[in-house]
Amino acid sequence: MTFLDDFFWRAVIAGVGVAVVAGPLGCFVVWRRMSYLGDTMAHSALLGVALGLFLKVDLMLGVFAVALAVALLLFFFQRQKLLSNDAVLGTLSHASLAMGVLLLSLMAWVRIDLMGYLFGDILAVSLNDLYWIYGGGILILLTLLMLWRPLLAITFDGELAQAEGVPVLGVQLLFMLLVAAVIALSMKIIGILLVTSLLIIPVSAARRFSNTPEQMAIGGALIGISSVLLGLWASLHVDTPSGPSIVIAAVLFFFAAHILPFRQFKY
């Protein structure tokens, strides 16, 4: 038996990879107050699972394809400016979730562990998932590194960034695609309904003691890794779903960060 034959260690390696990517990306979700975007992408993941099963393709590929479609639809409606972002996000979120449940119910021949997809399942992580997570994670981090300064400029003053020649719409679209990719990578560890928490809670804890954007990104990644390790340990020993266990661990770090006497954040 090799090291990667152990399901728990596969889950740990996968969770650490997801946390490293979610930390820096989650900073922009928090700064731009776009947590509902993450929820919309996450809810669309169930439709991606259903389509993946129906088309008999890799489920992570199905999830990313649907999240990509949702991101493009959101981008289109934002440019039209006919509805508020909240209205568009709410419509896309509930529509994709309902379509996913409906499609799964119509496929009577398919038997899946729906709770595992909704709340995470450490037994579901395969060696192929690790390739997806680390291959996709490296691409996401490299893309985010190239977009870091433009995203910061847009986040703190979009009009000034546009005046300075930053392609605001293009950068915003790429950002939404990166969020979609992280949602797809995180599905089996955190679960569809809780995946946004790994983007928000660790960086919200790190924000309490960060003086630069880079400190917050690194701190968010480290707290995310710690949450994954503690949550998976609890999941293994207490026999609880991995997603809620990781979220509770992250919440503990969040409260600790706000109770302990750290200096007030700047970002």
Q: Could you give the angle at the alpha carbon of 258 between the alpha carbons of 253 and 263, nearest 5°?
A: 120
Q: Rounded to a whole number, what is the largest CA-CA distance in the chain?
A: 59
Average pLDDT over residues 171-184: 87
The proportion of the chain whose per-residue pLDDT surpasses 90, expressed as a percent, equals 27
Residue 23 is predicted with a pLDDT of: 92
How far is residue 7's CA from residue 123's CA, in Å, rounded to a whole number? Answer: 6
CATH topology of domain 3-259: ABC transporter involved in vitamin B12 uptake, BtuC (1.10.3470)
Is the pLDDT reported for residue 245 higher than 70?
A: yes
Is the pLDDT reported for residue 260 higher than 90?
A: no
| 5-25 tens-digit pLDDT | 577 888 899 999 999 999 999
Is the pLDDT reported for residue 73 higher than 90?
A: no
Confirm if 226 and 253 have CB atoms less than 8 A apart. yes
DSSP 8-state code for residue 27: H
How far is residue 62's CA from residue 203's CA, in Å, rounded to a whole number? Answer: 28
Residue 55 is predicted with a pLDDT of: 87
Average pLDDT over residues 82-98: 84
- 3-state SS class at 82: coil
pLDDT band for position 263 (cuts 50, 70, 90): low
Range ranked top by mean pLDDT from 57-61, 80-84, 87-91, 220-224: 220-224
Residue 262 is predicted with a pLDDT of: 59
Tell me the average pLDDT of the chain: 85
| 100-141 tens-digit pLDDT | 888 888 887 777 777 777 777 777 788 888 998 999 999 999
CA dist 147 to 79, 107, 154, Å? 21, 41, 10
> Which pair of tokens denotes residue 165?
């020649």
Confirm if 182 and 45 have CB atoms less than 8 A apart. no
Q: Could you give the angle at the alpha carbon of 83 between the alpha carbons of 79 and 84, nearest 5°?
A: 95
Q: What is the pTM of this model?
A: 0.85
Domain residue ranges in the chain: 3-259
Angle between helices 35-55 and 168-190 (to 10 degrees): 60
Residue 266 is predicted with a pLDDT of: 55
pLDDT band for position 1 (cuts 50, 70, 90): very low
The stretches of the chain forming alpha helices (DSSP H) are 7-31, 35-55, 59-80, 85-106, 114-119, 127-156, 158-163, 168-190, 197-206, 213-238, 242-259
Sign of CA dihedral 198, 49, 116, 114: positive
Is the pLDDT reported for residue 217 higher than 90?
A: yes
CA dist 79 to 92, 121, 179, Å? 16, 38, 19
Among residues 93, 67, 69, which one has the least CA distance to residue 181?
67
How far is residue 147's CA from residue 228's CA, in Å, rounded to a whole number? Answer: 27
